[in-house]
Amino acid sequence: MENVLRDISSAIRDLGGSEKLEGLINEALSRNIAASDIVERGLRVGLEEVGAKYEACEYFLSELLFGASMMDGAMRILRPKLKKEAIEKKGTILVGTVRGDMHDIGKNIFRILAEGAGFEVTDLNVDVDPDVFMKETRDIRPEVLGLSCLLTTALPEIEKVISMLTEGKLRGGLKVLIGGNAVTKEFGQEVGADAAALDAVQGVDLCKGWVKP
């Protein structure tokens, strides 16, 4: 059992391609390995290693995205089986790009990686009104709210959302993560975010640290 799971994680880590990965997943399933084990002990380990290589500058965006795309393909095979096994989600993340900013690439990469890491992610898309962040935070009660911002002109929106959350008494149990090109750690501290992520991998790592099963 361990060998095939290790091969699965290696296939992702070494970017071996979807065909190879699917073959290994089918092999694991034929050996009656639970889909949840394949995900937790194979795929996610591999994707984490891709993230670590990205942070170490051994991999770049292309490799990160391909690793996530391999994971996504594998999940399409496993998802029907996971429903039956009722796999436990790591936690819930609400994410969106702040009002006045239409950029989405960084946010989308974060979403893909966070989903790959086992989080349930609700993506509010771009140009999100602070009231929408508030409403969805109240409704969904996520563990993490991710605010993305590329434009310096839109940075005040982050501050606005955070102060509305505080006024609305929604900060208890909620971590606010900010990210995007305009964001710096200093800015994060100034506006009262729990953390500022300099890239998507760092963002997901922070979420994992906050939301422990």
Partner 1 sequence: MTARERIRNAMDFKDVDAIPWVESFYEETLMKFFSEGLPANEIAVVEWVMSQDGLQILNWPKFMGFDPYSYFGCSTFWGRVVPVDIGPIPRFKQRKISENARHEEYIMETGARSRRLKKGVTKTTWYTMPQFYEFPVKDKKSWEQYKVRLNPEDPRRYPKDWEEDGYLQFLDEYEKGPVMLSITGFYAFGAELMGIPNFNVAFYKDPELVEDMLSHWEYFTIESVRQAVETLKDRIDMVFWWEDMAEKHGPNISPKLYREFLLPHYKKAIGFLNNNKICRIMMDSDGNTQAILDLAIEAGITGHWPLEVNSGMDVRSLRKRYGKKLFLAGNFDKREIAKGGEAMRKEIDSKLPLMKETGGYVAGLDHLVHVEFTLDRFREYAAYLKQKLIVE
Q: Is 10 in the site for partner 1 (CB under 8 A)?
A: no
Closer by beta carbon to partner 1, 59 or else 119: 59
Closest CA to 193 of 163, 170, 167: 163
The crossing angle, in degrees rounded to 10, of helices 61-85 and 44-55 is: 160
Residues in a beta bridge with 177:
146, 195
Q: Which sign does the torsion angle of CA 168, 172, 177, 183 carry?
A: positive
Least distance in Å: CB of 139 to partner 1? 21
Q: Please identify which residue in the block is written with the tokens 């799971």.
A: 5
From 27-35, 36-44, 130-138, 150-158, span contacting partner 1 (CB under 8 A)? 150-158
Cα–Cα distance measured from residue 180 to residue 203, given in angstroms and rounded to the nearest whole number: 10
Least distance in Å: CB of 83 to partner 1? 27
Least distance in Å: CB of 212 to partner 1? 26
Closer by beta carbon to partner 1, 90 or else 99: 99
Total Cβ atoms within 10 A of residue 6:
15
Least distance in Å: CB of 124 to partner 1? 13
Closer by beta carbon to partner 1, 14 or else 37: 14
Q: Is 71 in the site for partner 1 (CB under 8 A)?
A: no
Least distance in Å: CB of 68 to partner 1? 9
Closest CA to 25 of 90, 71, 84, 83: 71
Q: Is 57 in the site for partner 1 (CB under 8 A)?
A: yes
Among 14, 23, 27, 69, binds partner 1 (CB under 8 A): 69
CA distances from residue 194 to 42, 186, 203 in whole angstroms, order as listed: 31, 12, 11
Closer by beta carbon to partner 1, 16 or else 192: 16
**Chain centre to alpha carbon of residue 72:** 13
Closest CA to 95 of 186, 171, 207, 213: 207
Contact flags string 89-108 toward partner 1, x per CB under 8 A: ----------xxxxxxxx-x
Instruction: Record the tokens describing residue 190, joined without a space.
Output: 């100034």
Q: Is 139 in the site for partner 1 (CB under 8 A)?
A: no
Least distance in Å: CB of 52 to partner 1? 13
Residue ranges in contact with partner 1 by CB under 8 A: 15, 17-18, 54, 57, 59-63, 65-66, 69, 99-106, 108-109, 125-127, 151-154, 181, 184, 198-199
